[in-house]
Structure 1
Amino acid sequence: MVLRVLALAATVVVLVATVLAVTRDSASAHGSTINPASRNYGCWKRWGNDFQNPNMATQDPMCWQAWQADPSAMWNWNGLYREGVAGDHQGHVPSGQLCSAGETGGVRYAALDNPGNWQAANISNNFNVTVHDQALHGADYFLIYVTRQGFNPLTQRLGWSNLELLKETGRYAPGAGTRENGDPVLNGVSNSIAISAPGRTGRHIVFVIWKASHSDQNYYWCSDVNFPGGGGGNPTPTATPTRTPTPTPTATPTRTPTATPTRTPVPTTPPGGARSCSATYAVTGTWNGGFQADVRVTAGSTAISGWTVSWTFANGQAVSSTWGANIASSGSSITARNVDYNGSLGSGGSTTFGFVGSQSGSNAVPTLSCAAV
């Protein structure tokens, strides 16, 4: 009986400490792009009150993989910032890590950098970016970038060279803006900034930097958008999930990722012939019972119009959901074929597709074969 009482007391202490920690994080973090929604605010908006819903895995696979990596990316949607930047954004936030603010907070936001089928807002080439200032900090400035035509957020991590600066604002006084009433977590003010992005079609990223006025605190947000034309859309994942997410069912989850995302590329030898391709496989995240992997397909010395990648899992792994490819499974044998937008590759060109899978125990990297047409 005494041991049970002590165990219960210890549990209460842990829960109280967790509540205080999350409250402290929230108290020092105050904003996001809300329209078009940033990746982390969008995930919170869609799933924050429904995070146990297994449909997240197929309806919103990129939010699902971010949740599996670290639930705090969603719960702390307003805390994606770095301090002490002194205006040198490119010096403090490396290319490939822009959406996580240079992996600020360790692995907390790292999954936001992963390319894939993030939910994208349909916008016109003349649009407004709405940023929310939750703590009425004001702004020294906002910098608003849009990716250049040709960048593909489905297959590429965002780098500085992919961006074009379209707007640098002046100062916003603390408290300036319109009070928000539509979302109870938005209890500050919002400002809308008009942007023109001519020549863009299809999928893109809007990248916003907010330099808050109260200190050298700099926020970085990636919002996925779809401009008219280009057939960007939000492709529907083709597989049925085999695993239900199991986050801690509290308002202040304490789950931490079980493994830091690692890349383990395994190159394949392209087949002979006039048209050829090769493929590499990389595990980008693992957790108890599941994992995420990316596959890069590269054309040989001749342009190709389509590709098929095949492999066999050795340890009973299974594909749950996918983006950027049509995947079929027959037991442990997997076949992935290009979708409409990424089958044609120029000489030496490449594209990437990804998937979420289930695992139990070992997760050996398979050997891939690639066939081109």
Structure 2
Amino acid sequence: MSTPYRRPLPLAAAIIAVCAVVAALLTTAFSGPASAHGSVVDPASRAYSCWQRWGGDFQNPAMATQDPMCWQAWQADPNAMWNWNGLFREGVAGNHQGAIPDGQLCSGGRTQSGRYNALDTVGAWKTVPVTNSFRVKFFDQASHGADYIRVYVTKQGFNALTSPLRWSDLELVGQIGNTPASQWTREVDGVSIQIPANAPGRTGRHIVYTIWQASHLDQSYYLCSDVDFGGSGPSPTTSPTTPPTSTPPTSTPPTSTPPTSPPPSTPNPAGGCTATYAITGSWGGGFQAEVKVTNGSGSPIRGWSVSWNYQNGQQVNSAWNATVTTSGTLVTARNVAYNGSLAPGASTSFGFTGSAGATNPVPGILSCTTTA
């Protein structure tokens, strides 16, 4: 049987076919993360921060002068930014210092075949302003939850402009223990949680280093965020926008500034502990609040419970760092396993999001009780 004659493609058609193949390859290379994981989004990790600022314009040569550290990272491997939520290692078994050498902390020990190596580069990464008491917001796109999250800050005197980051440069300033995703705040594309951190004595440029031990596997995430203590104001607490599946995004996630919060509630003067309630963010029909619990007795305690009544129809939707139950207008929050024990004078805090009507006043009285 003879082979049928096929007319050769015209030159223009052949070029179009080749371009289609190239476009498909580029789409694969620069698409969003293949699998959803998580990252620190406030203060933003280096990869997320570079994607946030330049994801819609990552080929702009102006980045080289306006944002040189992000420029070198985009040039080294654009997928480090498209996959801002995939900087992890598996099978570390908690031996983080053994798995990651000094100078390679921001890349997770050059994990993922070196994709994130440029994040270890020493230089003037853009910073966001924070106060000495701040919160780290972690976004979990896959709702894995955490065995623990640990937050470190570089010690005063560390020079992030000239020195590679070493384990000995870090000090633990905040942490949470086992926290299932059901206790995190529901977001559009995942869940988030905020970890209180306190880094007294810091001024100027520093690195915040966060380790997230995810609960679904022995999977550890290592994230560097660049901050300036004593800057012009607090950083925004924005939620990330999921990267596109085919083309780069055209805009960065929106930033929202909550309105001025009402003053915190008056501590309960009686009992072995005190509690203060403060609204930390508000939006149409909703709010976020934080309650600080302090052991005011002269002896250690191993548990606490805080109760208050809502008078204007408020409802708690989700909470972290406490187990919260409601009965009518009464709200009761009890410690979780990792934050019940408090030395005399020591404090811990928990937070939650809620819904509110036309008004959202701070509860007048908080009752705090302890377990000795």
Q: TM-score range by the shorter chain?
A: 0.5 to 0.7
Instruction: Say whether residues 1:46 and 2:59 are aligned partners.
Output: no
Once the two structures are superposed, residues 109-147 of structure 1 have per-residue CA deviations (whole angstroms, 9 ceiling, x without a partner) of: 111101111111111100000000011111111011111
Residue of structure 1 in register with 2:89 after alignment: 82
**Equivalent runs, 1:1-373 vs 2, <5 Å:** 1=9, 8-9=16-17, 11-13=19-21, 15-16=23-24, 19-20=27-28, 26-180=33-187, 187-228=189-230, 251=247
SS at match of 1:62: helix
Cα deviation, residue 81, structure 1: 0.8
User: 1:6 Cα shift?
Assistant: 5.6
Q: Partner of 1:190: helix, strand, or coil?
A: strand
* Two-structure CA RMSD over aligned residues (Å): 2.4
Render the CA deviation track for 1:344-369: whole Å, top value 9, x for unaligned. Answer: xxxxxxxxxxxxxxxxxxxxxxxxxx
- Name the aligned partner's letter for residue 105 of structure 1: Q
- 1-side partners of 2:166 and 2:36: how far apart? 25
| Inter-partner Cα distance in structure 2 for 1:42 and 1:211 | 21
Give 2:118's aligned amino acid: A
What's the CA shift for 1:5? 5.0
Question: Per-residue displacement from partner, 1:173-218 (whole Å, max 9, x unpaired)?
Answer: 134322335xxxxx21111111000111111100001111111111
Q: For 1:26, what is the secondary structure of its paired residue? A: coil
**Relative to 1, partners in 2 of residues 1:102 and 1:4: Cα closer, same or farther, differing over 3 Å?**
farther
| Larger radius of gyration between Structure 1 and Structure 2 | 2
TM-score of the superposition, structure 1-length normalised?
0.56
1:8 to 1:92, Cα distance in 2 relative to 1, 3 A? farther
Q: Offset at 1:18?
A: 5.4
Residues 270-320 of structure 1: CA deviation (Å, up to 9, x unaligned): xxxxxxxxxxxxxxxxxxxxxxxxxxxxxxxxxxxxxxxxxxxxxxxxxxx
2 CA distance for matches of 1:100 and 1:32?
13
Deviation string for 1:93-120 (max 9, x for gaps)?
Answer: 1110110111112332111101111111
Say whether the 8 Å CA contact 1:176–1:189 is kept in structure 2: no
Query: CA 1:6/1:213 → structure 2, altered by over 3 Å: closer, same or farther?
Result: farther
1:318-353, CA deviations, whole angstroms, 9 ceiling, x for partnerless residues? xxxxxxxxxxxxxxxxxxxxxxxxxxxxxxxxxxxx
Residue type at the aligned position of 1:216 = D
Summarize the Cα distance change of 1:88–1:8 in structure 2 as closer, same or farther, 3 Å threshold.
farther
Match for 2:64: what amino acid? A
CA distance in 2, matches of 1:111, 1:223: 14
1:223 aligns to what SS in structure 2?
strand
SS of the counterpart of 2:113?
coil
List gaps (5 residues or longer) in structure 1: 182-186, 232-249, 254-373
SS in 1 for 2:181: coil
SS at match of 1:214: coil
Instruction: Report how many aligned residue pairs link the two structures.
Output: 228
Distance 1:40 1:7, change over 3 A: same
| Distance change in 2, residues 1:176/1:13 (3 Å) | farther
Alignment deviations for residues 15-35 of structure 1 (CA, whole Å, 9 cap, x no partner) = 445545666x72334111011
CA distance in 2, matches of 1:108, 1:162: 24
Give per-residue Cα distances to partners, 1:52-87, cap 9 Å, x unaligned: 333211221110111111111211111111111111
Name the CA distance, whole Å, in 2 between partners of 1:156 and 1:113: 10
> Cα deviations across residues 37-56 of structure 1 (Å, max 9, x unaligned)?
11110001111112233321
Percent identical: 59
- Distance across 2 between alignment mates of 1:83 and 1:147: 25
What is the SS of the residue equivalent to 1:73? helix
Distance in 1, Cα, partners of 2:105 & 2:16: 42
